[in-house]
Structure 1
């Protein structure tokens, strides 16, 4: 082979080697970033598991946010990191009824909503994320059509999941005075489905107490054969005296 013919051949070979090397470097960098992101994720998870309901958790919540923020920066397409970030943000809600607290809470809810939207963008098959998104938006807007749309997404991918049923029940109880007929029908249907989960239904009473709507839940359960097992249960007798 002449030198003239060999030069283009060598150039092509060199180009192939360079491309392969760049691909290898890219894969290595991506793998390293994923490993680092996973480490920060577990850092955040362990910090959250160590929270104490009887103590001031402000510092630990900030540490968890820093860790999960780094994880999502290193691996921005990982849906679970965005969901955990949203969860951490919601822990920062201020229960005070002041103008500053209300403004702070609106910012927190918007940030949580943005992260949950990122999560469902990369993973549309996790019902719990859709129902979390529905709840966060309902805190801001009430029982709107957008909230209903997110609930429908949750029901499509997790029609028999207790977390979906309880999420809908929570949204309905929080917004009871504003519920449209379609929301009330949805509430009754999800209540029936949740009642089929046996002892797990006790969480519905906890939710009702948290949103100051236990009398509404108890009244809802007093009628209909669907709720016979609930009405004879210890949890009903304890909560609905």
Structure 2
């Protein structure tokens, strides 16, 4: 089975990506405003990377988009409707893989499908298809402690996408990986997102990662959103844009 066949089988008809918008939003916790006056729109199926220094509110932004943290002011919308709480259409992916240690790799990927009430056979089929997609077909019966850090992140990615979310919110998921594994995961993410239709907001402190993955790069704490030319490239063609972003931050 080819990678394209696996993606088609695992996702079926790709859902339409969510359109996310923040309008004059204040982010933070009561008594502690981290960012104020945030205006940002993420288009359907777009990969928006978000960069900024530590403590600037990147993780707070994701939790607000996920509906886990209410804005202190302004409005947060999905497809023109207010985000009032968590929703299965939006899923979070963390730097910590957050796998359940007592469940096998397959059972971890099946978890969101089980929560939705999918039949056992359908859950197993979808989980196995996504594990093949992320290169872990031979690891389904292992437990998380038997995997490397990069492999655990592959499981987390498979679990997130198996549920066919319309938006994937990623909080520095590759930050704890070594440089080679991180590059491999970046390539894998680009590959597995193809055909899913999902909108992605990817938070990182790494400008090179932001440029490689993003259709646009949002510079948190400024009003700047920088378009990234495609095709994706790790070479010198991004040097000028990279320096522009670093100077702005």
TM-score (norm 2): 0.28
Query: Between Structure 1 and Structure 2, whose CA radius of gyration is higher?
Result: 1
TM-score (norm 1): 0.29
Relative contact order, CA 8 A, sep 6+: which one is greater?
2
Structure having the higher helix fraction is: 1
Structure having the higher strand fraction is: 2
